[in-house]
Chains A and B, each alone.
Chain A
Amino acid sequence: MTIDMLIDIGSWVLLSLGGFFVFVGGVGVLRMPNLYTRMHAASVTDTMGAILIIVGIMLQAGASLATVKLAAILLFLLLTSPTASNALASAALLAGLRPSESTAADTERHQ
């Protein structure tokens, strides 16, 4: 009973923390000023949110095939979500959406 309870508590801590980071990602997307900065906030949801929630569910699933599948889902998620972000960012750049504060880096280069 005690071991089960410890696993349950650990699982709920992970799930709650994951939910917190998903929430932070959402708040960040609303607060940030433009597309590129919003994507930074969204990546908190993609990474910390996804990792904590999936590991939390893995603890609930225990030593079963479902846990292996969840691990695979997490791996594929971590491989594909940055790829999707790259596609989005590079499409925005190609479409002519300049990161508005790029001037800071530009002036440094000219010095």
Chain B
Amino acid sequence: MSRRPALTARILLLLVLLVIAWLLWSGLYKPLLLALGAFSCLITVYLARRMGYFENDLFALRFGPRLFHYWGWLAKEVVRSSMEVTRIVLDPRLPISPQVVDVKATCKHPVSQALLGNSITLTPGTLTVDLHNGVIKVHCLTRSGAEGLMAGEMDRRVAALEEN
């Protein structure tokens, strides 16, 4: 029973944040738009509740300089692999060697694992297909892409985000 007030407080906090965000982004205060905003906020909170979002800490991902540093590195990777996939697409021989590899996620927290899975998908040429028990099944467009992923730099960087 002692968890109950904390849960309600977390739900209300998210609702307040969503309402503030809506009002700031919208900037239009007509009844119809306000009603639609209220509806969006409530349905978002309901879906978040259904997904078990409130069972975890509300802000599992810390927005520190370290995260922005990671985003910078990720942006560089996205550009590099986009060029690679572009080169493959425009090559008349279409030199692909698709394969599926299993990548072990070093990080333990579900949010960190989701971050790693999404980062892998975001980089063109590697696609997260499944995440189960800390093992990520990744579809790779080329053998060299798979080898780059298996080198594990992304995994190390995400795991480093978790350390305090």
Contacts and interface: CB of A to CB of B under 8 A. Distances in A.
Interface of A: 21, 24-25, 27-28, 31-33, 36-37, 39-41, 43-44, 46-48, 51, 65, 69, 72, 78-79, 81-83, 85-86, 89-90, 93, 99-102, 104-105
Interface stretch (B28-36, B52-60, B91-99): B91-99
State the main secondary structure of chain A at its contact with B: helix
B25 A24 contact: no
Interface stretch (B1-9, B37-45, B121-129, B153-161): B121-129
B118 A82 contact: yes
B78 interface: yes
Contacts of B125: 40, 43
Contact of A39 (B118, B127, B130): B127
Contacts of A93: 129-130, 137
B97 A85 contact: no
A85 B127 contact: yes
Given A28-B89, A48-B79, A43 B99 contact: no
A102 B129 contact: no
Contacts of B121: 43, 82, 85-86, 89
Contact of B101 (A31, A32, A101, A105): A105
B99 A102 contact: yes
Nearest to B98: A101
Interface string B69-99: 0000001001100100110111000101111
